[in-house]
Structure 1
Amino acid sequence: MAVRIRLTRLGRKKKPFYRIIVADSESKRDGKFLDVIGTYDPLQDPAAITINNDKLQQWLGRGALPTTTVKSLLKKAPVVAQQ
């Protein structure tokens, strides 16, 4: 089972809001997930990114791989220790 750190979409039409989740790589975009580690709101003027650093480091330590989109969000997020 390959585990990925990726986005799942919430919100209504034309008003997206995303959760940063940990899920099996074969599950659906809005399907079952293992853990929620943060949120991403692209509609705020500087896009709001909140991440639970402890959970992020725990999942990275277990071998979870972030997608390219999440990787770019992690670089923009404040107080995130790089791998």
Structure 2
Amino acid sequence: MSGVLVAGARDPLTRARVRAHFLETHPHIRSLAVPGGGHGVLRDSDCARRAIRAWLAGRRWPDAACKAAEHAPYDASRSGR
């Protein structure tokens, strides 16, 4: 079974240590941390959406992380909370 974990690097709900623990216990999962992204990274990041589409289509996964220049700084008012 494979999977993908895409999270904003500044996600207040999916913190880096939680992501790291999850990836340690699920080595088959691919991960992408979006710089500047919050909890709504799939809504807010073209790069994250491209990564998911590539994964679903079986294409090459992005090299490392989305370019920080593509993202505005995290704005908690957009997180839906």
TM-score (norm 2): 0.30
Task: Name the structure where helix makes up a greater proportion of residues.
Answer: 2
- Normalising by the residue count of structure 1, what TM-score does the alignment of the two structures yield? 0.30
